């Protein structure tokens, strides 16, 4: 048993891979990771940009596609081909877990982040285009994304909700999921067991932004005591907020309202810890993994973090070990002048912009490649 396998067997947390590349599929690396205990895959526009740019793995298919379609449509065909192949690798996990794991996530175009209607149309199209039970379509948890999530759940499509940075927005996401299930019942659904969802709560980026604000405030502090208090609070925001999110998850998925849906086969919307690589190398390399272990959760990790966890990860329940301490940590940050709502708004804007930038740069790279191929012909 690897530590990844122990994580699931002992603590009911599912380790997923936050990466997807065509060479992982062709060379068997994804299958090897699954054999070691990886139980799902997440992707985003930045991941695909890194996968496609600077390699020739996609050139043959891309050249063929350009004979009948434009660059952006060809991009989606490249991505969908990888997703379908990854879905095949993960399908045995999906079947063996009875639909709990084995998912591969594909995100709608980042340009749709603030367009509810277009997000619904795109998410519906992707589900219809691929039509496999272990596909998650990713929808960002923007103000405009939340109603699209409810619509998709109401239509009984499985959704990975991404870019969650605050407890308040997380509450809206859970309400969209539960409300969407209730909409499905109102429309005549008698079996909700096929609807699955995860709520991707981003972690390390929160510390990056909060630490920046603490250091700025420390530089302006009136005395050494205040300065030290600000600097000592670095690295405390992200895990505390995620642990408090888990408390909210436990509260929502209990009680009469949820039990009525569970009686029809509904499954909880699992919290997924995303952005769990350590951005600040002064912190432990598993700072956002070892501290967030608990049942009914997912941790999606990039390759390096997976390697660290296989080497020296600790398998122990930690996500709800001391909820009073995580609450106190957030209260302390507030007392130091950190506005977590403003932090979340900043990070959401940056996240949407980052994915859009990666997408636009990839489109330009593919356009350049298309022009080169055309000149060669």
Q: Is 269 helix (H, G, I), strand (E, B) or coil?
A: coil
71 Cβ partners below 8 Å, 6+ apart?
Answer: 363, 366, 367, 370
Q: Rounded CA gap, 110 and 328, in Å?
A: 36
Cα–Cα–Cα angle for 258, 264, 270, rounded to 5 degrees = 50
115 Cβ partners below 8 Å, 6+ apart?
Answer: 144
Q: Rounded CA gap, 143 and 114, in Å?
A: 7
The CA-atom distances, in angstroms, between 238 and each of 165, 211, 329, 366 are: 9, 10, 10, 36
Pairing state between β 135-140 and 270-274: unpaired
**Token pair of 187 as six digits:** 């429309």
Handedness of CA 10, 14, 18, 21 (dihedral sign): positive
Q: Do the Cβ atoms of 136 and 106 come closer than 8 Å?
A: yes
Q: Is 138 a catalytic residue?
A: yes
Measured N-to-C along each axis, helices 237-252 and 323-335 cross at an angle, to the nearest 10 degrees, of: 130
Residues 138, 279, 357, 369: which is the catalytic one? 138
Active site residue ranges: 138
């Amino acid at each position: 048993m690897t530590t990844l396998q122990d994580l699931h067997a002992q603590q009911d947390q599912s380790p997923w891979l936050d990466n997807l590349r065509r060479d992982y599929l062709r060379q068997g690396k994804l299958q090897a990771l699954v054999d070691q205990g990886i139980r799902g895959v997440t992707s985003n526009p930045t991941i695909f940009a890194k996968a496609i740019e600077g390699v020739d793995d996609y050139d043959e298919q891309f050249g063929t596609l350009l004979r009948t379609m434009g660059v952006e449509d060809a991009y989606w065909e490249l991505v969908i081909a990888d997703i379908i192949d990854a879905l095949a690798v993960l399908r045995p996990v999906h079947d063996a877990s009875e639909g709990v794991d084995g998912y591969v996530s594909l995100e709608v175009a980042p340009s749709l982040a603030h367009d509810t209607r277009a997000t619904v149309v795109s998410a519906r199209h992707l589900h219809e285009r691929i039509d496999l039970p272990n596909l998650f379509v990713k929808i960002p948890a923007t103000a405009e994304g939340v109603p699209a999530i409810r619509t998709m759940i109401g239509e009984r499509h499985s959704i990975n909700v991404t870019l969650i940075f605050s407890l308040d927005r997380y509450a809206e996401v859970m309400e969209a999921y539960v409300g969407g299930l209730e909409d499905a019942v109102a429309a005549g659904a008698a079996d909700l067991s096929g609807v699955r969802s995860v709520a991707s709560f981003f972690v390390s980026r929160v510390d990056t932004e909060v630490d920046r604000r603490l250091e700025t405030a420390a530089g302006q502090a009136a005395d050494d005591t205040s300065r030290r208090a600000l600097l000592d609070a670095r690295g405390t925001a992200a895990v505390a907020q995620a642990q408090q999110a888990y408390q909210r998850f436990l509260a929502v998925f209990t009680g009469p309202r949820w039990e009525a849906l569970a009686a029809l086969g509904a499954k909880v919307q699992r919290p997924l810890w995303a952005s769990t690589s350590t951005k600040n190398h002064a912190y432990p390399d598993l700072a956002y993994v070892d501290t967030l272990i608990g049942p009914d959760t997912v941790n999606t990790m990039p390759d390096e973090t997976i390697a660290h966890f296989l080497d020296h990860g600790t398998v122990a329940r930690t996500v709800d070990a001391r909820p009073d301490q995580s609450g106190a940590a957030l209260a302390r940050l507030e007392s130091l002048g950190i506005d977590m709502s403003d932090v979340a708004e900043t990070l959401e804007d940056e996240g949407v912009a980052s994915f859009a930038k990666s997408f636009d740069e990839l489109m330009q790279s593919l356009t350049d490649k298309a022009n080169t191929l055309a000149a060669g012909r």
